[in-house]
Chains A and B, each alone.
Chain A
Amino acid sequence: MKNRFYFIIGAIIAVLCSSCKKDNYEAPAADFTGRIVYKGEAINVQYGQVNFELWQSGFGNYAALKVNVSQDGSYSAKLFDGNYKLVFSPNQGPFLWKKNATGKQDSIAVNISGSKAMDIEVMPYYMIRNASLTAASGKVNGSCKLEKIITDANAKDIESVSLYINKTQFVDGGNNIAVQQLTGATIADLNNLSMSVNIPAIVPAQNYVFARIGVKIAGVDDLIFTPVAKISF
């Protein structure tokens, strides 16, 4: 009986000691943060729609780490130290990513060693300038002008320009309570766009909405947006 008792104690000690061992790996510790920018100006996109890929070689089969870009164009990822390659897949984001000599998406080498902040320079098809969003007599009025950035063979037309409003700060085509859309064909002057949308009854009542203008470029999935504005009325 005594023997068996010692044996059990021994087993318990063995289990406890083995579980004191450190885990095999440290959690990733380096913060990789920044924004996607054009000449220092952040590109605003739809939440959860735009991501870039980080590839790291040397660990078995290749697979990408996908890093999402937030509404305001910022991103952040927790990474292990190491050498990565950063690339946007074709048709991610409302911008053109540069190509390498073989016509494929070019990648940027990123060395992570401790935390790092880096703005990623991209080439948008259009930029939204002079955006103004105001509320007046039950409506949200928006105006802006569009600057065409890419004018060479890769240039694209505007498919539509929309003013979205929503109860929460997520504002886009799938998250809105009202929208006013100008189709590309009806836009005569890119320098003078104005829209207005009626604010519907909100339940439960609130005296503010969030609004943004989004521009859909023909043949491009992701819209480019103005920053989210909180508008009280």
Chain B
Amino acid sequence: MKKYIYAFAAIACLSFAQSCKKDSEFLDKQPTSTLPIDAVWKDPNLVLTVVGDLYDRFPDFQRIESWWLFADFDEGFASASGDYFRHQNLEYGYDAWRYWDIGVYRLVNDLNLFIKRGQEATALKAEDRNRFLAEARFIRAGVYFEMVKRMGGVPLITVPLAYDYSGDPSYLQYPRAKESEVYDFVIAELEAIKTVLPDNATIQSRATKAAALAMESRAALYAGSIAKYSNAQLTLPGGEVGIPAAMANGYFTKALNAAKEIIDGGKYSLYKKNPNLSDNFAALFTDKGSNPEVIFAKDFKLKTNKVHGFTIDNQPRSSAEEAQGGRLNPSLNLVQSFEKLDNTYASFAAIDGSGNPVYYTNITDIFADRDARLAGTVILPGTQFKGKTVDIWAGYQLANGTIVTGDNFAQSKSNVLPGNPGSVQVVGGDGPVDGLEFSAQSGFYVRKYLDPATGSGQIGTRSEVWWIRYRYAEVLLNAAEAAFELGDAATAANYIKPVRDRAGLTTALSPANITFDRIVHERKVEFAFEGHQLWDMKRWRLADKVWNGNNMSAADFTNASNIGSATRTSTQVFGLWPYKYYNPGNANHLKYIFKVIKPSRVTAAHRFRIGNYYSSIGQDVLNGNPKIIRNPNQ
């Protein structure tokens, strides 16, 4: 009985104690699931979690988490049935690559809010606070750069906006800034924060001085080339689109100086750990241990939810860790643009001058003596990934010209080869089989960014290879291009040399060899599958020449004479298929021959219209803000 009294007394005490609390104390409890703003701005670790979210929203267009976008511009073929439409669309929509919606300006607003609150915060140490603020400004510069390169001039908003429910939203309606003003803003912001950010080459997933300079160099280069190569159609009277040609040199100088500051700083260098140049180039993208070339990357980590499936999606099918892979097939258009080691361009010699096939003893012989970046970017037939040789060959060609092939991976057939009644494999374990998804329908698989770690091709494990946004080689090529545009070909040759040396092209280009076409070509092969292609083609105003909507044929790939031309048409993906020649007794028996093919799923020729240079602005945006002017040509 006593026990109950004690229990009752205790309960009574506790409830009285509770009810003695003031109402305000009871009602004003802080929620436990969210942190109030002023609590966050007291602890650098808490602020870092907010910055982490902002970094996570840093904009990219093509990246390893969206392999399919690489197939949109004829760099690669999308070997997955749901993505064949990428090769069946004649045109790019005017709204393609649009980057101007609620989400984008919400991100801008979040960044502006973060900056405003950071400036008001007093509890943090000044150095911590300044670094966080500089990081937010770095991300904001990245967002505006992404907007301006897609949309042209956009409203420049640098203060947080909030609606006051007065019924009149006109004070929230900003007009578009000039295109040049947005670039100027990006450059000025990066210039202002570069000294605040740490100058440390081992920080690669957060903003550093070099990251700011690298972005500044790229942005200034884009602005400069838009000014230089702009044409009259791509302007608006208010300058919202188009940059006057007179401003070109100023931007090129800024691009060169920013790049030079990184180069002269000496903290970064090209990745050269592996003596095999191709393996070295492939490892550059997957090696996260003290990689001296990476300036700014989006990082991933195993055993968290920050992993990606690029390797699962694109690993060679025959040695895949799941029944998956092979979705991105580099195109012959790209593959043949890698130079020979003597700095000349050449088609692959599938047929000789009189139209007869050329016979190769080894399947890889046709790719010999090429730029080492080729085998570092592309898994060629007969080369290895994760220690296993890919099995890419399309079948047998008999003496009478008949093709013997199959329609599934490593299919075997009986009694199909003359004088050989047994069962033989008639097509490679990786294809190519036309129309069979995951097979190498162009004859190639992608290697860049493919993770060599065991388990990276498993659904349960995935890959933690990072996505490199800025790397040292780009800084060198930016410097080379800016110097070239400023008329200094000798300096351009100096900056381009280390990049080409690493690729095994040891005969240096002389200043006289440096042409606009060379620079276009160098960026094309160095940065394949790194998300540069569309923006480069746009800023050089080459996009409507290259993707001109005209059909291509195999004849464009055999003995092509204009491979190094910046304006070479590339509207349809082509491939190169190896066949085994079957003719017992003949000297060429079981040697390889090659054929240029067009995958049957490629039905349309891409056409980039002049109106595509700037994405259209959504009708909802135009309706909501009468100060916004439409982009030209739409």
CA distance A61 to B624 in the complex (A): 9
Other-chain residue from B90, B233, B551, B605 in contact with A90 (beta carbon distance below 8 A): B233
Residue among A176, A179, A221 facing the most chain B CB atoms (10 A cut-off): A221
Residue among A103, A179, A219 facing the most chain B CB atoms (10 A cut-off): A219
Is the C-beta of B549 less than 8 angstroms from some C-beta in chain A? yes
- Which partner residue on chain B sits nearest A48 by CB separation? B90
- Which partner residue on chain A sits nearest B624 by CB separation? A61
CA distance A2 to B623 in the complex (A): 58
Q: Residue-by-residue, is B315-331 near A (CB-CB < 8 Å gives 1, otherwise 0)?
A: 00000000000000000
Is the C-beta of A173 less than 8 angstroms from some C-beta in chain B? yes
Within 80-132 of A, Cβ neighbours of B (below 8 Å) are at: 89-92, 103
Q: Residue-by-residue, is A214-233 near B (CB-CB < 8 Å gives 1, otherwise 0)?
A: 00000111000000000000
Count of A-B contacts judged by CB separation below 8 Å:
50
B623–A61 CB distance below 8 A: yes
Other-chain residue from A89, A173, A221 in contact with B551 (beta carbon distance below 8 A): A173
CA distance A103 to B237 in the complex (A): 8
Interface of B is mostly: loop
Contact residues in B for A176 (Cβ distance below 8 Å) = 551
Q: Residue-by-residue, is B88-103 near A (CB-CB < 8 Å gives 1, otherwise 0)?
A: 0010000000000000
Is the C-beta of A63 less than 8 angstroms from some C-beta in chain B? yes
Other-chain residue from B232, B233, B551, B620 in contact with A174 (beta carbon distance below 8 A): B551
CA distance A219 to B545 in the complex (A): 10
Q: Residue-by-residue, is B604-634 near A (CB-CB < 8 Å gives 1, otherwise 0)?
A: 1101011100000001101100000000111
A63–B619 CB distance below 8 A: yes
Contact residues in A for B544 (Cβ distance below 8 Å) = 221
B610–A174 CB distance below 8 A: no
Residue among B544, B548, B549, B609 facing the most chain A CB atoms (10 A cut-off): B549
- Which partner residue on chain B sits nearest A175 by CB separation? B551
**Distance between A46 CB and nearest chain B CB, rounded to angstroms:** 9
B605–A61 CB distance below 8 A: no
- Which partner residue on chain A sits nearest B91 by CB separation? A49
CA distance A63 to B624 in the complex (A): 12
B548–A173 CB distance below 8 A: yes
Contact residues in A for B619 (Cβ distance below 8 Å) = 61-63
Other-chain residue from A173, A179, A221 in contact with B610 (beta carbon distance below 8 A): A221
A179–B551 CB distance below 8 A: yes
- Which partner residue on chain A sits nearest B606 by CB separation? A174
If A61-B619, A174-B551, A219-B233 touch, whether A89 touches B607 (CB-CB below 8 Å) is no
Other-chain residue from A61, A90, A174 in contact with B607 (beta carbon distance below 8 A): A174
Q: Residue-by-residue, is B547-584 near A (CB-CB < 8 Å gives 1, otherwise 0)?
A: 01111000000000000000000000000000000000
- Which partner residue on chain A sits nearest B619 by CB separation? A63
CA distance A176 to B549 in the complex (A): 11
Is the C-beta of B231 less than 8 angstroms from some C-beta in chain A? yes
- Which partner residue on chain B sits nearest A172 by CB separation? B549
If A62-B623, A89-B633, A221-B610 touch, whether A173 touches B605 (CB-CB below 8 Å) is yes
**Distance between B91 CB and nearest chain A CB, rounded to angstroms:** 8
If A63-B619, A179-B551 touch, whether A221 touches B237 (CB-CB below 8 Å) is no
**Distance between A157 CB and nearest chain B CB, rounded to angstroms:** 12
A179–B550 CB distance below 8 A: yes
A90–B550 CB distance below 8 A: no
Contact residues in A for B550 (Cβ distance below 8 Å) = 173-174, 179
CA distance A90 to B241 in the complex (A): 14
**Distance between B164 CB and nearest chain A CB, rounded to angstroms:** 24
A173–B231 CB distance below 8 A: no
- Which partner residue on chain B sits nearest A200 by CB separation? B553
Contact residues in B for A173 (Cβ distance below 8 Å) = 548-551, 605, 607
CA distance A61 to B548 in the complex (A): 35
If A63-B619, A174-B605, A219-B231 touch, whether A91 touches B611 (CB-CB below 8 Å) is yes
Residue among A48, A63, A174 facing the most chain B CB atoms (10 A cut-off): A174
Q: Residue-by-residue, is A141-181 near B (CB-CB < 8 Å gives 1, otherwise 0)?
A: 00000000000000000000000000000000111100100
A174–B633 CB distance below 8 A: no
If A173-B550, A173-B605 touch, whether A91 touches B632 (CB-CB below 8 Å) is yes
- Which partner residue on chain B sits nearest A63 by CB separation? B619
Contact residues in B for A221 (Cβ distance below 8 Å) = 544, 609-611, 633
- Which partner residue on chain A sits nearest B548 by CB separation? A173
**Distance between A167 CB and nearest chain B CB, rounded to angstroms:** 13
- Which partner residue on chain A sits nearest B612 by CB separation? A221
- Which partner residue on chain A sits nearest B90 by CB separation? A174
CA distance A38 to B451 in the complex (A): 60
CA distance A221 to B609 in the complex (A): 6
**Distance between A5 CB and nearest chain B CB, rounded to angstroms:** 52
Residue among B90, B231, B237, B544 facing the most chain A CB atoms (10 A cut-off): B90
Contact residues in B for A89 (Cβ distance below 8 Å) = 611, 633-634
CA distance A122 to B232 in the complex (A): 21
CA distance A174 to B634 in the complex (A): 21
CA distance A1 to B604 in the complex (A): 66
Contact residues in B for A90 (Cβ distance below 8 Å) = 233, 632-634
B233–A91 CB distance below 8 A: yes
CA distance A197 to B562 in the complex (A): 22
Contact residues in A for B622 (Cβ distance below 8 Å) = 62
- Which partner residue on chain B sits nearest A47 by CB separation? B90
Contact residues in B for A92 (Cβ distance below 8 Å) = 633
Within 37-54 of A, Cβ neighbours of B (below 8 Å) are at: 48
CA distance A61 to B609 in the complex (A): 27
CA distance A12 to B620 in the complex (A): 43
**Distance between A189 CB and nearest chain B CB, rounded to angstroms:** 25
Within 183-233 of A, Cβ neighbours of B (below 8 Å) are at: 219-221
CA distance A174 to B548 in the complex (A): 9
28 contacts between A and B (CB under 8 A): A48-B90, A62-B619, A62-B622, A62-B623, A89-B634, A90-B233, A90-B632, A90-B633, A90-B634, A91-B609, A91-B610, A91-B611, A91-B633, A92-B633, A103-B237, A173-B548, A173-B549, A173-B550, A173-B551, A173-B605, A174-B549, A174-B550, A174-B607, A219-B231, A220-B610, A221-B544, A221-B609, A221-B611
- Which 6 pairs across A and B sit closest by C-beta, in order of nearness? A91-B633, A173-B550, A221-B609, A174-B605, A61-B623, A173-B549
